[in-house]
Amino acid sequence: MNVVIRPDEADVTRYAYEFLRDRMNRKRYRVLGLPTGSTPLRLYRAVIDGFKRGEVDFADVHTFNLDEYLGLPPDHPQSYRRFMETNLFGQINIKPENINFLSGLPRDIEEECERYERAIRELGGIKLQILGIGRDGHIGFNEPTSSLASRTRDKTLTRETIEDNRRFFERDEEVPRWALTMGVGTIMEAREVLLLATGRAKADAVAAMIEGPVTTMCTASALQMHPRVTVVIDEAAAAKLNHDDYYRWMADNDARMVGYLEERRRRFLTGDSAQPEAAQKQ
């Protein structure tokens, strides 16, 4: 895992936006997996600003959202579909037919989940999957004990998740107890993963995901088995990491590696045996 620790939420957002912009423009990623929640909200604002500046173009981009509450129609104020319309899709040039969502009111749950998996496959798979993380270490709605090989399916939410999501609902309304969600196995097939976490409340989940064992008790820990994962967190979310020194050291040195290698090659090719400057400083 590439662990990136930034001072605060604003910096996490900047990093995540530049990461996404780079993948869309340089790597031509056209199929994105997107999360909801409060964490990606700032990123979506940055994306809208970037779109207005002409830095990102969604004309031929397809999106797949991770999950949807079961029982909510698409235009329900608290449906994830509506959340995405309000906070992103309504303000960029994505084509409505390129937006993919799990239905909150499917006639047949199994068929709906299979349809989603098929739609992802037909577009050649998700290139960049963006994720948040729940306090119990879940990704999507893959609650603890979810199979790490799970596919898109229905899940019963934990009491903790229901409590966490209650704040988004009107006073009298109940947060749904079930959701449809991409499985951990579905998420693991994305070419690249970018996970964002901010705030002290996420520190335990972040530590378990990065430094704990791979376990169904923290489904985000499955990402340790994925070859291209970048985790961007603020200092508060990094507070419980034991090896944060190494992640910072790694970030410093990664930035110097290309220059160092070029210098070594130049010296080798020109027969200059003196040590390059970067190595002397070590």
154 is known as an active-site residue: no
Cβ closer to ligand GLP: 83 or 246?
83
Closest distance between ligand GLP and the C-beta of residue 199, in Å? 8
Residue 136 annotated as catalytic: yes
Catalytic residue among 9, 68, 112, 143: 143
Residues ≥6 apart with Cβ < 8 Å to 199: 9, 234, 236, 237
Catalytic site residue from 138, 164, 192, 244? 138
Name which of 62 and 202 has its Cβ closer to ligand GLP.
202
Indicate the residue among 50 and 134 with the shorter CB distance to ligand GLP. Answer: 134
Alpha helices in 53-138 (DSSP H): 80-87, 109-122
CB of 205 to ligand GLP, least distance (A): 9
- CA angle at residue 35 from 219 to 31, to 5 degrees? 105
Residue 60 burial by Cβ neighbours in a 10 Å radius (0-12, 13-18, 19+): exposed
Choosing from 136, 164, 234, 244, the catalytic residue is: 136
Q: Which residues bind ligand GLP (CB under 6 A)?
A: 35-39, 66-67, 132-134, 140-141, 161
248: Cβ contacts below 8 Å, ≥ 6 apart? 5
Residue (3 or 206) nearer to ligand GLP, CB? 206
Q: How far is CA 47 from the centre of its chain?
A: 14
CB of 135 to ligand GLP, least distance (A): 7
User: What would the two tokens of residue 236 be?
Assistant: 């508060």
Q: Return the active site residues.
A: 67, 136, 138, 143
